[in-house]
Structure 1
Amino acid sequence: MKALVLAGGSGTRLRPITYTSAKQLVPVANKPVLFYGLEAIAEAGIVEVGIVVGDTAEEIKEAVGDGSRFGLEVTYLQQDSPRGLAHAVLIAREFLADDDFVMYLGDNFILGGINQIVADFQTHRPAAQILLTRVGDPTSFGVAELDSLGRVVGLEEKPKQPKSDLALVGVYLFTPAIHEAVRGIKPSWRNELEITDAIQWLIDESRTVRSSTITGYWKDTGNVADMLEVNRTVLESIDGRCDGVADSGCEIIGRVQIEEGAEIRNSRIVGPVIIGAGSVISDSYVGPFTSISADCLIQHSEIEFSIVLRGSSIRGVSRIEASLIGRNARVTPAPAVPQAHRFVLGDHSEVQISR
């Protein structure tokens, strides 16, 4: 069995971060989202992985390399522009050959991995197996319709009037039957080849399509709120350790990871928190669910429930929360502006000025 990982796309919902960085490489708990998916694939016993890349191909290649760090053998597949998930299958035909495969969206996060899902697919081997989860707003997802016996009878991509609240999670499992399906569909109203249309083609051709409704944690990390939520979830499972240096003026509470080369001076750190190698925290407060990447500086400031990327500095800022701060950013107080009042007052006016 092989894996097809999608790591293209422009990441418009994460701008301005994704103007200069691939959305799949934005870190949660100081590790790129993409890496969690690759680790899950390796843990499921899959070795051969094709990664579909787009405009950020070089950055993805530099981060992942040949895949050996994950125990994988990686082949890169260039997509000229985002044309839909089914188009990714189409261009990966030669790599996939006639093998079964799992397709994994590189910006998705599934807590607990995919071992059981892969094992279930290999046992029953339907033409396709999809993962579903209940969501509050199905209009933002591919949506599945099930019959009274729980069988998949219909799929629709981002419907204006959803027939259910069951959204497709970004992990799909296929036999080679999907190749005929992706060749048999036409672009949607979004001018993309939709994987939902390809799976619907299988259903219409009386091929078996199974589904599993997951109850565990899943997120499409497509926006800042979801990134922060995934970061929070991952940090909840970390263990505390100090491989760096914390001086006697520090108060460290709860599960805090201080990586090698990091220095904490006269600061209060309340976990769960992770502080990257080479970062310096001085005279500051770092609160729960915060990830500080490598080579950052936090000085005379307060921050919590946030993600700070590599090389950034925060100096003299009284409070930051629920924020995603990009690489090499600088956050400082605004210059003090002399107060002045300007009036055009009518006759017999009375004005009160707050001090």
Structure 2
Amino acid sequence: MKALVLSGGSGTRLRPITHTSAKQLVPVGNKPVIDFGLEAIAAAGITDVGIIVGKTGPEIRAHIGDGSQYGINVSFIDQPDPLGLAHAVLTAEPFLGRDDFIMYLGDNLVAGGVTEFVREFEETKPDAQILLARVRDPERFGVAELGDDGNICRLVEKPKEPKSDLALVGVYLFSGNIMDACHAIEPSARGELEITDAIQWLIDQGQTVAQHTITGWWKDTGKLADMLEANRIVLDRYETRLEGEIDAASEIQGRVVLEAGAKIINSTVRGPAAIGANTVIENTFIGPYTSIYHDCVVKNSVIEHSIVLEETSIADVPAMTDSLLGRKVEVAHTETRPERYQLVLGDHSKVGLI
């Protein structure tokens, strides 16, 4: 079995971060989102991995390299325009051929990995197997409608009036027959080749489409709220690991990951939290569910429930929460201030707070 990882989307729902950075490389728990998927694929015993890339391709390529850090062999596949998931499958046809494969959306996180689903697919050998999860906002996703027998009878991409709360999780398993389906369908009203239409084609042709409704957590990290929730979930799984320096005036409370070269000076870090390599925290309170990536400097501030990307500087900010800051951002205090701030800042931003 092969794997196809999709990393070519533009990430419009996470702008301005994604104006200058791939959404799949935004870290949760100080680990880029795409790493979780690649590690899950490797854990399932799949080593031949194609990665669809688009405009952020150079950044994705630089991060993943040849895949050896994950124990996989990587082939990068260019998709100049994101014209739908089924279009991505067709773009990867020279790599996939007619082999079975797992398709994994690079900005998704699935509890427990994918090994169970891969084994189930290999044992039962359907033409396609999809994962479903109950969601509060199904209009954002592909939605599955089940018949009285529990089998899938209809799939609809982002319906205005969903008839089900069962959303398609961003992990699919296919036989080579999906290629016939992708070639047979027409673009949707959105101008895209929808994978839901391709799977529906399989159903209409009498082919076997299995479903597995997952009970653990699953996150599509396409929006700020989802990214912060994914960060919470990941941090909750971490155990304390303190490799940096902590001075006598500082206190570590709860589960905290402190990478090598990081320094905690006259500060409190209350976990779950993660502080990246070579980051300096001084005269600061870091609250729960905060991830601060490598080579940052945070002084005289209070931060909680936030994600801060690398090489960012924060000074004299009395209350920051529910925020996502990009790379090389500079945030500093000015004379007049409100009680708290919520920020979404793109790379190289500079903000003066009043």
Larger radius of gyration: 1
**TM-score relative to the length of structure 1:** 0.94
1:225 aligns with 2:222: no
Q: How does 1:253-292 map to 2 (within 5 A)?
A: 253-292=253-292
- The letter of the residue matching 2:68 is S
Question: Which amino acid is 1:239 matched to?
Answer: E
Q: Give the counterpart letter for 2:161 in structure 1.
A: Q
After the TM superposition, which residues 140-289 of structure 1 pair with which residues of structure 2 at under 5 Å, given as runs?
Answer: 140-289=140-289
Shift of 1:335: 4.3
- Count matched residues: 337
Identity fraction in percent = 58
User: What is the correspondence of 1:79-158 to structure 2 with a 5 Å cutoff?
Assistant: 79-158=79-158
* 1:330 equivalent in alignment to 2:338: no
Other structure's SS at 2:171 match: strand
Can you give the 5+ residue segments of structure 2 that lack an aligned partner in the other structure? Answer: 338-354
The Cα of 1:239 is off from its aligned counterpart by: 1.0
State how far apart, in whole Å, the 2-side matches of 1:136 and 1:24 are.
23
**1:286 & 1:55 partners in 2: Cα distance?**
35
Query: Residues of 2 paired with 1:56 and 1:241: CA distance?
Result: 33
CA–CA distance in 1 between the matches of 2:9 and 2:254?
38
Q: Distance in 1 between matches of 2:205 and 2:241?
A: 55
Q: State the match for 2:28 in structure 1.
A: 28
Q: Which residue of 1 aligns with 2:9?
A: 9
Alignment partners' CA distance in 1, 2:10 and 2:335: 35
The residue number in structure 1 matching 2:75 is 75
Residue by residue over 1:256-283, the C-alpha shift from the partner in whole angstroms, topping out at 9 and shown as x without a partner, is 1111000100001111111111000011
Structure 1: gaps (5+ residues):
338-355
Letter in 1 for 2:180: E
Q: Structure 2-normalised TM-score?
A: 0.94
Q: What does the per-residue CA deviation read over 1:191-227, in whole Å, with 9 as the maximum and x for residues that have no partner?
A: 0000000000000000000000001000100011111
Alpha-carbon separation, structure 1, partners of 2:222 and 2:241: 31
Q: Which amino acid aligns with 1:121?
A: F
**Cα RMSD for the two superposed structures:** 0.9
CA deviation vs aligned residue, 1:40-83 (integer Å, no higher than 9, x gap): 00000000000000000000000000101000000000001010
Give CA-to-partner distance per residue, 1:301-320, whole Å, 9 cap, x none.
00001001000011011010
User: Residue by residue, what CA displacement relative to the aligned partner does 1:129-171 show, whole Å, maximum 9, x if unpaired?
Assistant: 0000111121111001111111111101001121211100000
Deviation string for 1:158-192 (max 9, x for gaps)? 01121211100000000000000000000000000
2:348 aligns with: none
- Shift of residue 336, structure 1, vs aligned partner: 5.4
Which whole-Å CA distance do the structure 2 matches of 1:241 and 1:177 have between them? 47
The equivalent residue for 1:344 is: none
The Cα of 1:334 is off from its aligned counterpart by 2.2
**Which runs of at least 4 in structure 1 moved beyond 6 Å after TM superposition?**
none
- State how far apart, in whole Å, the 1-side matches of 2:35 and 2:336 are: 43
SS in 2 for 1:190: coil
Q: Which residue of 2 aligns with 1:352?
A: none
Q: 2:24, 2:241 → 1: CA distance?
A: 27
CA–CA distance in structure 1, aligned partners of residues 249 and 111 of structure 2 = 37
